[in-house]
Each structure stands twice: as structure tokens, then as C-alpha cells.
Amino acid sequence: MSTSQPSLVDSAPAGAQAKMLPVRSGPVRSILILQTKQIGDLVLASALASNLQLEYPGARIVFLCDGRFAGLLTANDIASEVVTFRRSHMRGTPLRRAQELVLTLFRLRGYHFDMAIDITDTKTSRFISGVVGARVRVGYQPPDGLMRWLQLRPANVTAKPFGYGERHFLYRYLSPLEALGIDLRLPVPAIQPPPFETTKALALMDKFQLRPNAFVAVHAGASFPGRRWQPDRFAAAIDRISAETGLDVALVGGPDEKDVAGTIMATAKTPIVNLVGALPLETLPALFKQARLFLGNDSGPMHMAAAAGTPVVGLFGLQSPTRWGPVGAPSISMSPAMPCDCVGGDLCERPDPNKACCVWRLEVDPVVDAALELLARTETVQQTAV
């Protein structure tokens, strides 16, 4: 072990082993992952964290993320610790942005990271990666073009835009492993909820008489209205799926999605358990693990359900399932035929796939057929698990 960096050894957690990088001397005892995007990105990035935990046993894995998502990462053992920032402040006035950035940097530098992996890849995240003081700094290769030489890139290990020859965004977040020469041992996200979160989920299910492996979890929300399948179509699909399978139905989502849930509850003929806003984000994977099927829009909970191993029917618009489809569980991704006439009017902001309303063109019957097909396909597996 190198004697030129005694502080790295002295500050290591008890029992940690020194894992040496192939080309840079010194143990890796603390790793920062910069992922400041949304829930789905964090779920996909959990596969990166899991592989790093295997490669560097005992290393402290710290995420930088929006404060709203901290509980999801720590409660489900995705991260050892989380350093949070307030996204609203980072989008505020120049003074507020500067204050939030300085506070975040002050906290990060206190960790004395050995490695920083920037998978957000923005000007701000690259700046943070460069000043936290990590010995190994992993970032993406700059895109081709004349501007590439004008971008500040503090990385001393560069990753391909997408690793392992794949195009799904999961492999963008796994690409740093390839750049570091680390074997890919866990190729998909796999969230294993801890016992205390499972206990909370089961207690909530018992309160509403939901039986394990006997209900469909439905998420009708999304970050932009154009990515939300129409509530009346969700209601119609719920009625048919429930009638043909006998499965109960539970709506899930955050407190800001109560209006959508209320519309579905008022429209559907099937009795529905409304859990929207009833449980914290960190407990959702435990609830999904008890569900027989997840049906929902292209959103963070969809990725969360897949990572929990629940069969998923995902509803997509202009955003490609090839790039953003659910991984880690049996799934069917539904999307309308393209190209199409815009159905969103002034709301639709094509060509931005995050703000296009193409999912509204999905009809009820194909979605129900997909759900029934996936239920039939996974029946034997579910019975074995029970």
C-alpha cells in the first residue's frame, strides 16, 4: 500500500479493503456519483452503484442528488450516504444559485473523495467534479464538433457516451465501469427493499385489504401532462383488467398527482384503492415488490417497479422504449405508431420527447391485451415465487 497517501488509509471505514485502480495508485475508499436528474435516472444509476460496491468492498458510495430523492437511495441501500441540493434554488436567481452551489461544494469537499463519477454531464456537474478534489475523476468523452475543445472537462478517465455497445440509457450510466476496467457483474438495477420498508408496505396493504401478488399497481402521473395517458383510458383499462383477472387495483403516486387519481376513481366502475400520496418514495419499491403487475406511464415509478422485479407494462409516447424502456423484469412497452399528426395542440412541444403528447394516441384495447399477455407469461414464475 502506498505510504504517500496515509490519510486515505487512516480515514477508511473499519474492515474496508484497499482496491487498487489498474493504472492509478492508491486505494478507493470513497466514491462520489453525481446524478442530479430524476427518479428514473437514479434507479438506472443504482446498477452502477451496485457494481462499484462489488468492486470496492467497504467503500463509501455517496450520491449527489435532489433532496427529494435522498430517502429512496439510503433506505434501499443504493447509497451509503447522500449529499443533497435544492433543485429549485439551482434554477433561481444568480445569487441563490451561487449560494446553493457553494454550500454543496463545501459539504462535498469534506468527504475527501478518492473517485468522482459524473453521469449527469452538465456544465455544473462537470465543474463540481473538478473541484471536489477526487484523485480519479470519471466523465464522458466530449461530443464531436468544434465546440468540444471549448468545454471544461476535468475528467482524467473518460467513458464512452454509451458503454458495452448498447444504446439504452442504462448503459450510459454503466459506461464508467467499462472505462475503469471493472467487470460488469450486475447488468440491471435490482432493488431489494429492506425489511423495515417491507413491513411498512405490508401494513398499508393490510389496512386496505390488498393481498400480496394479487393486485395491479397503477401509476397515472408523469412530470409533464403530455406524458400522461388519459385518466379515462386508465379507468377503462383498469375495469377490463380487473374484470378479466380478478386482481385488485391500487393507484400510486405523489401528493401532486391526486387530481389525476381523483378523476380515475370517479370514472372507473371497479373499486380502486387510492394510495396516491399515502406512502413515502422510499417505500414504493417494497410495495411494487408485492404487486402482481405494474401499469403506468414512462416515469420514475415505472423504472422503480422493474428494478423491484415486478412485471411492467410501460406507456410511451415520442420517447423511445429502446432508450428508456423498463429493465430488470419482464415487460411490454407500448407506444403509438410513428410518425403521427400532433394531438396535443399548443401543449405539445415536439421534437422534445419529454414534452410531446404522442402517448395520448394509445388506445385502451392494446394496453389491456398487453397486460393480459404479460400476466399469462409470468404466471408460472409468480406462482413459484409464492
Compute the Cα dihedral for 38, 307, 302, 172 and give only its sign.
positive
Poorest-confidence range of 44-48, 82-86, 250-254, 365-369? 82-86
Q: Are 46 and 78 in contact (CB under 8 A)?
A: yes
pLDDT at residue 223, as a whole number: 84
Q: What is the mean pLDDT of the chain?
A: 89
The band of 6, judged by pLDDT with boundaries at 50, 70 and 90, is very low
pLDDT of 379 over the 60 cut: yes
Poorest-confidence range of 15-29, 52-66, 120-134, 368-382? 15-29
Q: Are 337 and 359 in contact (CB under 8 A)?
A: no
Whole-angstrom CA distances from 252 to 24, 39, 79, 170, 300 are 46, 15, 24, 24, 12
User: What count of other Cβ atoms lies within 10 Å of the Cβ of residue 121?
Assistant: 19
User: Looking at residue 14, what DSSP letter applies?
Assistant: T
pLDDT at residue 22, as a whole number: 46
The band of 236, judged by pLDDT with boundaries at 50, 70 and 90, is very high
295-318 pLDDT, tens digit each? 999 999 999 999 999 999 999 998
pTM of this structure: 0.88
pLDDT at residue 146, as a whole number: 58
pLDDT at residue 193, as a whole number: 96
20-40 pLDDT, tens digit each? 454 456 799 999 999 999 999
The band of 93, judged by pLDDT with boundaries at 50, 70 and 90, is confident
pLDDT at residue 148, as a whole number: 57
CATH 3.40.50.2000 domain position(s) in the chain: 6-180, 200-385
Q: Which fold has domain 6-180?
A: Rossmann fold (3.40.50)
pLDDT of 385 over the 70 cut: no
pLDDT at residue 381, as a whole number: 60
Look at residues 262, 296, 293 and name the one whose alpha carbon lies nearest to residue 276. Answer: 262
Supply the CATH classification number for the domain 200-385.
3.40.50.2000
pLDDT at residue 4, as a whole number: 30
Poorest-confidence range of 125-129, 220-224, 332-336, 341-345? 341-345
- In angstroms, the CA 155 to CA 162 distance is 16
Residue owning grid cell 454543496: 104
